Chains A and B, each alone.
Chain A
């Protein structure tokens, strides 16, 4: 079962229209919420007059931030400082040069000031969605419009508008990590120093399911219920309970089918908190579904980092030292510092860099808060080092593959500890690159460039190596029950937002217990039965969940073996387990796993007659290091007359560890790559730098990749086994996206090298490329 490219078992409900996303559900007595959102990026709220809205037809209530505080609640603590990538007992950032690591509680509706375009100000609850929406337009708000700042570098300037009193200079924290003095000393004496600034553009999550939330409150039990798609119900429950000031047992979070995650949906959104609060206030369930325009203004966004890189190289192209500066745009609320932590830990990627340092500034701006977005810091770090290698190769007259070969970590150096403290236990870095170059026919590229040239087109090729640092929530739990009726029930703390867990988890259990896949069902995403677990992000589901599946399956076999041995009147060691059953070779007696479960249901287990279930559980709360790695090559053509970039083909060699289901893994690579291509060539949230107005507010003006954006792909999976987990899983969710912008920008720079070597802006839209080509003409 493991390793087979099986079609997914969950697909039947999705292709027949029987998927159940939050907005598909109906709750008895439900009411509808709509939010009035700020049209200004930064403004004081002088007054909010709700009287006309309250009198509007169908309106039940109109709530503002003061109501929330008067009800005694507090804002959400997003826990922005993540758990460390190496030591799960610590935070990623322990100290700040500013003296503090800022963490501002996030109340659902601000009381005195709005800090980004789209921030909700008031919530209307009505009998119909239309009545709620119409009434929001009857709320009169008097704004004191303030200067806004949206760019992280601008926000660090003296005199920049200030976001929060608790974050002077708009700094959440500043951290100096690595050996800066040593790096600077080495760079000062280096034969070649390359410096460059990169701006990783801000992208919109654009999961296809608009966010949706249903809140309910049971006055008798005092239990709040949130039904809402997310990437992890348990985290959401804990955050809600904290904000509502109740014990976690008084909050239930239910996560139905979820239409895409990609990172930001791991966190609580204020609308999710607002619907449960409002449900208690009005005594009826409250539902809300975002429209896409709201999503562009309020879904947490990704990336938006400025990296100023300084690399010292030897004459033969070896990286001697790195001294980077990283400005992370946090946005208007402190939701997450994950990207900065990931980007730091992985900054030297697959290269043997002796000394590295990074200075991080986490900066607040008048923008939608940022959160981890697929890759979350790794694509940014990969982009920087891979671009710098190409720039150095050009300076030194070295082949771009050769400069990488000279810097790659040799396989015999594994386990290798990077200057940023990660330990890689596996990975054939040189072999992966060589294979990608072979598949991409790198060596014969010049012929293709010449042929394109003859057609008036500029052809380029680019290469990038990558490695990831799968981190995420370290705590996970699996419960496994074998039921007498021939079913196996898995309860997991991870949940799928499209990754096909119902299939892959069943594949693992079917293999380990020797039962048909169809007998295995997976339940997730409801804190009524999921007590512990971190949800899905950072390639964690199969890495942690898989480990626990193997553990619980082994426990089940051990318990069942005892029962079988007692029945056979044999010693447990003599009883063999194979094909879903136990056999005693001496007596030739056999019993199936489900029959054992039936026996336990009637008689209990030997030594514990009260235990009437064939059940096991296992938990983990630590780091399970595993580093997906690989190489990618992109070939593209630029039309110099229009600036249009056409990707000709793309090659990806990915070591995801053991693929449980290669069909699903390859699908993950495709999807990640599409998001990387989007960011490289078309997607960004354009903001007016002076006013903070959002210029990309819909799919009409945001460059979502369509079919046709993705070139012919060659994806090859490879494996250098990790020993960190029994299934040898590394992770596949982020392999496509991690090297994508680096590969494409290297290819683009190659195509355009005759026009200079300045850095192209991201995304490299036709306008950007055309202006680059023609910038000296005018």
Chain B
């Protein structure tokens, strides 16, 4: 058994789990944070994406024990609490119809949140590169790409004018 101490969405947790427990299993099964999803078993789909110590990771590829001592943000933790307004990325997905079945959405949102933590490039190629690790079957990605731009403009109002330039490149 491994002793895992994590700060998850601002709350300190501590559990003993079998050594081979993946971070995603720890989140879903031990903590019952089921917003983080498992969509594949080869680290391709990105449905399990969370933020670990400021970096976007696929939580199916990290052992819980490896992450121990770190801080994790999941899709449930993007807002301060359940009554708070939606995070700008969450809101952008809603406004742009960037989701259909919703299964890939938490991972998409966590990847986009990471991409937008610094002023991003918003040309098609850069956005698609940022989304390369996340698979969606429903949307054709069109409105997800739109949501990235929508959220970026919300987070960085100065970028709104620069987008046209970016998309020309």
In contact, B142 and A670 (Cβ under 8 angstroms): yes
Q: Does B100 contact A (CB under 8 A)?
A: yes
A7 near B40 with CB under 8 A, answer: no
Evaluate contact between A706 and B109: CB separation under 8 angstroms. no
Of chain B, the residue at the smallest CB distance from A258 is B101
The 8 A CB mask of B130-169 against A (1 = contact, 0 = none) is 0110111111111111000000000000000000000000
Chain A residue contacts of B32, Cβ below 8 A: 26
- Give the number of chain A interface residues (Cβ < 8 Å): 58
| Cβ-based interface call for B90 (8 A) | yes
Question: Residues of A contacting B142 with CB < 8 Å?
Answer: 667, 670, 710, 713
Q: In the assembled complex, how far is the CB of residue A707 from the closest CB belonging to chain B, in whole angstroms?
A: 4
Q: Indicate which residue in B35, B41, B136, B139 contacts A17 across the interface (CB closer than 8 Å).
A: B35
- From A493-501, A569-577, A750-758, the one touching the partner chain is A493-501
Residues A670 and B103 in contact, CB atoms below 8 Å apart: no
> Is B59 at the interface (CB under 8 A from chain A)?
no
Contact B45 A208 (CB under 8 A): yes
Nearest-CB residue, chain A, relative to B79: A16
State the CA gap A644–B97 with chains docked (Å): 31
By a CB distance below 8 angstroms, the chain A residues around B102 are: 10-11, 13-15, 19, 257, 259, 498
Out of A23, A26, A208, which one reaches B137, CB within 8 Å? A208
- Residues of B within 8 Å of A10, CB to CB, are 102
Which residues of the other chain, A, contact B129 by a CB distance below 8 angstroms? 708
- Across-interface contacts of B136 in A (CB, < 8 A): 208, 707
Judge whether A210 is part of the interface by a CB distance below 8 angstroms: yes
Q: CB-nearest residue of chain B relative to A19?
A: B102
Q: Which residues of A contact B125 (CB under 8 A)?
A: 708
Chain A nearest CB from B103 CB (Å) reads 3
Interface of A is mostly: loop
Among B45, B78, B125, the most chain A Cβ lie within 10 Å of the Cβ of: B45
Q: Is the CB of B135 within 8 A of A699?
A: yes
The distance in angstroms between the C-alpha atoms of A16 and B97, with both chains bound, is 15
State whether the Cβ of B62 lies closer than 8 Å to any Cβ in chain A. no
A673 CB-CB contact with B under 8 Å: yes
> How far is it, in angstroms, between the C-alpha of A12 and the C-alpha of B84 when the chains are bound?
12
B128-A706 in contact (CB<8A): yes
| Chain A residues in 8 Å Cβ range of B134 | 707
> Residue B39 contacts which of A11, A210, A258, A672 (CB distance < 8 angstroms)?
A210
| Minimum C-beta distance from A522 to chain B (A) | 16
B137–A18 touching, CB < 8 Å: no
> Could you tell me if B93 and A11 are in contact, using CB atoms closer than 8 angstroms?
yes
Q: How far is the CB of B63 from chain A (nearest CB, A)?
A: 14
Q: A700 at interface (Cβ–Cβ under 8 A)?
A: yes
Q: Residues of A contacting B41 with CB < 8 Å?
A: 291-293, 698
Indicate with 1 or 0, residue by residue over B17-49, a CB within 8 angstroms of chain A CB atoms.
010100000001000111111111110110100
> What is the chain A residue whose CB lies nearest that of B148?
A707
A704 contacts B by Cβ under 8 Å: yes
CA distance A26 to B102 in the complex (A): 20
0/1 per residue, B59-82, Cβ < 8 Å to A?
Answer: 000000000000000111011001
Q: How far is the CA of A262 from the CA of B93 in the complex (A)?
A: 22
- Across the interface, do B105 and A15 meet the contact criterion of CB distance under 8 Å? yes
Is the C-beta of B99 less than 8 angstroms from some C-beta in chain A? yes
B67 to chain A, nearest CB (A): 18
Pair B143/A667 contact, Cβ less than 8 Å: yes
How distant is the Cα of A497 from the Cα of B41 in the complex, in angstroms? 23
CB distance from A389 to the nearest CB of B (A): 26
Name the CB-closest residue of A to B134: A707
**How many Å lie between the Cα of A709 and that of B135 in the bound state?**
11
Docked complex Cα distance between A207 and B137 (Å)? 6
Question: Contact: B45 with A292, CB < 8 Å?
Answer: yes
Q: Within the assembled complex, what's the spacing in Å between the Cα atoms of A494 and B55?
A: 41
Contacts of B90 in A (CB 8 A): 15-16
Known: A12-B86, A260-B138, A671-B138. A207 touches B128 (CB 8 A): no
Please indicate the chain B residues that have their CB under 8 angstroms from the CB of A500 in the complex: 100
Task: Using A12-B86, A499-B100, A707-B144 as known contacts, say yes or no to A17 and B42 having CB atoms under 8 A apart.
Answer: no
**Is B40 within 8 A of A21, CB to CB?**
no
Check A292/B39 contact, CB under 8 A, given A11-B93, A208-B45.
Answer: yes
Alpha-carbon distance A293/B41, docked complex (angstroms): 7
A8 within 8 A of B: yes
A662 smallest CB distance to B (angstroms): 10
From B35, B93, B109, B140, A671 is in contact (CB under 8 Å) with: B140
Q: A292 to chain B: which residues have CB within 8 Å?
A: 39-42, 45
Contact A259 B103 (CB under 8 A): yes
Instruction: Tell me if B40 and A17 are in contact (CB < 8 A).
Output: no
Q: Does B8 contact A (CB under 8 A)?
A: no
CB proximity of B61 to chain A, nearest CB, Å: 13
Give Cα A663 to B146, complex, Å: 13
Kindly list chain B residues whose C-beta atoms are within 8 Å of the C-beta of A262.
137
Nearest-CB distance from B141 to chain A (Å)?
Answer: 4
Verify A708–B42 contact, CB threshold 8 A.
no
Q: Are B40 and A663 in contact (CB under 8 A)?
A: no
For residue A209, CB closer than 8 A to chain B, the reply is yes
Q: Which residues of A contact B99 (CB under 8 A)?
A: 11, 14-15, 498
User: Taking each of A10, A206, A208, A713, which has the highest tally of chain B beta carbons within 10 Å of its own beta carbon?
Assistant: A208
**In the complex, are the beta carbons of B45 and A699 less than 8 A apart?**
yes
Distance A13 CA – B35 CA, assembled complex (angstroms): 10
CB pair A16–B139 under 8 Å, yes or no, is: no
| A1-38 to B contact mask, C-beta < 8 Å, 1/0 | 00000011011111111111101101000000000000
- Candidates A7, A498, A667, A736; contact of B95 at CB < 8 Å: A7
Nearest CB of A to B134, in Å: 8
How far does the Cβ of A375 sit from chain B's closest Cβ, in whole Å?
Answer: 14
Interface residues of A in 343-362 (CB under 8 A from B): none
A675-691 CB contact bits vs B (8 Å, 1 = yes)? 10000000000000000
Interface residues of A in 514-568 (CB under 8 A from B): none
| Pair A208/B35 contact, Cβ less than 8 Å | no
Cα A262 to Cα B41 with chains together (Å): 22
Interface check A664, CB cutoff 8 A: yes
A16 close to B132 (CB less than 8 A):
no
Give CA–CA (A292, B135) in the complex, Å: 13
Inter-chain contact A706/B131, CB cutoff 8 Å: yes
Q: Are B97 and A7 neighbours in the complex by a CB distance under 8 Å?
A: yes
A259 to B107, CA, bound (A): 14
Contact between chains at B42 and A700 (CB < 8 Å):
yes
Q: Which of B34, B36, B94, B124 contacts A12 (CB 8 A)?
A: B94
**0/1 string, B108-134, CB within 8 A of A gives 1:** 010000000000000011011101101
Q: How far is the CA of A663 from the CA of B95 in the complex (A)?
A: 10
Q: Which residues of A contact B101 (CB under 8 A)?
A: 207-209, 257-261, 497-498
Q: A674-B141, A707-B128 are in contact. Are A21 and B135 (CB under 8 A)?
A: no
Residue B104 at the A interface, CB < 8 A?
yes
Set of chain B residues within 8 Å of A206, measured between Cβ atoms: 137
Output the residue of A17, A258, A667, A713 with the most chain B CB within 10 A.
Answer: A17
Q: Closest Cβ of chain A: how far from B154's Cβ, in Å?
A: 14
Q: Which residues of B contact A259 (CB under 8 A)?
A: 37, 101-104
Q: A8 to B93: give the CA distance in the assembly, Å.
A: 10
Residues in A636-684 with C-beta less than 8 Å from chain B: 663-664, 666-667, 670-675
Residues on B lying within 8 angstroms of A by beta carbon are 18, 20, 28, 32-42, 44-45, 47, 74-76, 78-79, 82, 86, 90-91, 93-95, 97, 99-106, 109, 124-125, 127-129, 131-132, 134-145
5 more A-B residue pairs beyond the given contacts A257-B101, A698-B42, with a C-beta to C-beta distance below 8 A: A16-B79, A19-B102, A259-B101, A674-B141, A710-B141
Contact sample, A vs B, 8 pairs, CB 8 Å cutoff: A11-B93, A208-B101, A208-B135, A663-B97, A667-B97, A670-B143, A671-B137, A704-B137
Counting from the closest, the 9 A-B pairs by CB-CB distance are A17-B35, A259-B103, A14-B102, A498-B101, A674-B140, A498-B100, A708-B128, A670-B140, A699-B44
